A and B are shown apart, each in its own frame.
Chain A
Amino acid sequence: EVQLVESGGGLVQPGGSLRLSCAASGFTFSSYEMNWVRQAPGKGLEWVSYISSSGSTIYYADSVKGRFTISRDNAKNSLYLQMNSLRAEDTAVYYCARDAVVPAAGFDYWGQGTLVTVSS
């Protein structure tokens, strides 16, 4: 069974940092492209970042570029999101999401999300 389990969320002050993790199981993690998607309280979905299966290709939303860093450790079946210079508008549930095995087929598995709250 495919499982994605996020962790690392919590309360952080504006300007602070946080590192999110996503532990993957039930599939060959190293073969899949991965993403982070966030959802502010009561709002819609916002794609945050993408990383290719090898980690060689990375994309970011403009809203986080220069502040967030996506990475992965295929040996540990883990995806990460390092978040620096956090702002109140970064408050959201952060989901890791797997690109479907079929090319260009959306995100077929999502984690349950981890809540990040940026507040003083």
Chain B
Amino acid sequence: EIVMTQSPATLSVSPGERATLSCRASQSVSSNLAWYQQKPGQAPRLLIYGASTRATGIPARFSGSGSGTEFTLTISSLQSEDFAVYYCQQYNNWPLTFGPGTKVDIK
């Protein structure tokens, strides 16, 4: 099983600042990585797939990069609606696995 790790566990950011979230896979997942955003009481929302492609309707302030085992989600200028938990997921190998999440909260 591919183990996904995310850092930091919590990221405190002021509105308008840049946030950089990291995700690491225990072995290569190529570019088969997605990022999701989840707000309290809501289902996850797909942000990024293929490591760097924004899903439909996702603002350009969200960007993804990386391949192999190291990935990054960047939110260029945090808006109030961006404070949430972010999960990475690999879909290169079965079983599919998620990272433990990074909570982005208000500084």
Give A contacts to B, CB under 8 Å: 35, 37, 44-47, 50, 59-62, 95, 100, 102, 104-108, 110-113
Cα of A113 to Cα of B44 in the assembled complex, Å? 10
When A44-B101, A45-B98, A106-B34 are in contact, do A113 and B43 touch as well, CB less than 8 Å? yes
Q: Which of B49, B87, B91 contacts A45 (CB 8 A)?
A: B87
B44–A45 contact, CB under 8 A?
yes
| A95: nearest chain-B partner, CB-CB | B43
| B6: nearest chain-A partner, CB-CB | A44
Chain B interface residue count: which class? 20 to 34
Q: Which of B43, B97, B99 contacts A112 (CB 8 A)?
A: B43
B96–A50 contact, CB under 8 A?
yes
Q: A50-B94, A59-B94, A110-B45 are in contact. List 13 more A-B contacts (CB 8 A).
A: A44-B98, A47-B95, A50-B96, A60-B95, A100-B49, A102-B49, A104-B49, A105-B50, A105-B53, A106-B34, A107-B46, A108-B46, A111-B43
Interface of chain B: mostly helix, strand, loop or mixed: loop
Cα of A111 to Cα of B96 in the assembled complex, Å? 19
B89–A106 contact, CB under 8 A?
yes
| A96: nearest chain-B partner, CB-CB | B43
25 interchain pairs, CB-CB under 8 A: A45-B87, A45-B98, A46-B98, A47-B89, A47-B98, A59-B94, A60-B95, A62-B95, A95-B43, A100-B46, A100-B49, A104-B32, A104-B49, A105-B34, A105-B49, A105-B50, A106-B34, A106-B36, A106-B46, A106-B49, A107-B34, A107-B46, A107-B89, A110-B43, A110-B45
